[in-house]
């Protein structure tokens, strides 16, 4: 029996990860914001021993404080929630910048800080953070978003160094152009430029991210720690 917490579970990638990793004996805590109906649908699909829905804004400090408590003593934490606002830096408002920092960084940090002590005490546990190809390859209109994702990757490596000796694994996936919510806004800004730079000549699928997530969270990846796994169809290198 495992306790699994997934933020951003109402997104296409988050939901795909939940479906892939959930087992009948698991206790799942699935978080989302604005799309409560998607969480309800996901709950019916998972068929776990118990599935708890946590619906709210991670940028709301009150909600975040309460939500963090639900993550205590979890065996697996997946930080998939993200705020993505695509615009040139000069056009971003203070509120938009604060939103991306709050959701992409502060919520992740506080959740990890909550679950790590229990994992260390049990000498087991796995944390998976979701970054983006934007952290490694410059994309117009993604300055702050890309910066938060770069932080996530550095945070992952350092937390893995802190926790690895006691059996806690921390890893990261950096998706490339995936046919999901956040990419749709980016495509509206960049046109066909993204698609033309994917070596496999197609967009990725949420299930392809979920496949990698399931591997990293499984015992099959027991010797993988502190890694950022790029899943981008050859987009990162401009092939």
Catalytic residues: 145
147: left (phi over 0), alpha (psi -120 to 50) or beta: alpha
Please check whether residue 233 is in contact with residue 177, taking contact to mean a CB–CB distance below 8 angstroms: yes
For 12, residues 6+ apart whose C-beta sits below 8 A from its C-beta are: 178, 180, 181, 206
Alpha helices in the chain (DSSP H): 12-21, 36-46, 61-70, 94-101, 107-122, 143-163, 181-190, 193-196, 206-216
Rounded CA-CA distance 148/62 in Å is: 22
Please, what's the largest Cα pairwise distance for the chain?
A: 49
From the list 104, 107, 97, 34, the residue with the least C-alpha distance to 66 is 107
Please check whether residue 12 is in contact with residue 182, taking contact to mean a CB–CB distance below 8 angstroms: no
Q: What number of CA atoms fall less than 13 Å from residue 159's CA on the CB side?
A: 30
Rounded CA-CA distance 100/85 in Å is: 8
Q: Are strands 76-79 and 50-55 parallel, antiparallel or unpaired?
A: unpaired
Q: Are strands 125-130 and 27-32 parallel, antiparallel or unpaired?
A: unpaired
């Amino acid at each position: 029996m495992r306790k699994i917490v997934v933020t951003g579970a109402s997104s296409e990638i988050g939901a795909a990860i939940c479906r892939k990793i959930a087992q009948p004996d698991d206790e799942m805590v699935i978080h989302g914001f604005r799309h409560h109906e998607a969480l309800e649908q996901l709950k019916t699909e998972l068929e776990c021993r118990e599935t708890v829905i946590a619906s709210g804004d991670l940028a709301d400090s009150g909600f975040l404080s309460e939500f963090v408590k639900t993550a205590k003593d979890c065996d697996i934490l997946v930080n998939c929630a993200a705020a993505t606002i695509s615009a040139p830096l000069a056009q971003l408002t203070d509120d938009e910048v604060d939103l991306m920092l709050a959701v992409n960084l502060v919520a992740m940090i506080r959740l990890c800080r909550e679950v790590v002590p229990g994992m260390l005490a049990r000498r087991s546990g796995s944390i998976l953070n979701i970054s983006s190809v934007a952290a490694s390859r410059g994309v117009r209109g993604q300055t702050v978003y890309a910066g938060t994702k770069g932080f996530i990757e550095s945070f992952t490596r350092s937390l893995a160094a802190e926790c690895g000796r006691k059996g806690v694994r921390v890893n990261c996936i950096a998706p490339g152009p995936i046919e999901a919510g956040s990419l749709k806004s980016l495509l509206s800004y960049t046109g066909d430029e993204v698609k033309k730079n994917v070596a496999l000549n197609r967009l990725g699928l949420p299930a392809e991210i979920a496949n990698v997530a399931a591997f990293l969270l499984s015992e099959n990846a027991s010797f993988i720690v502190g890694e950022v796994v790029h899943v981008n169809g050859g987009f990162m290198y401009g092939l």
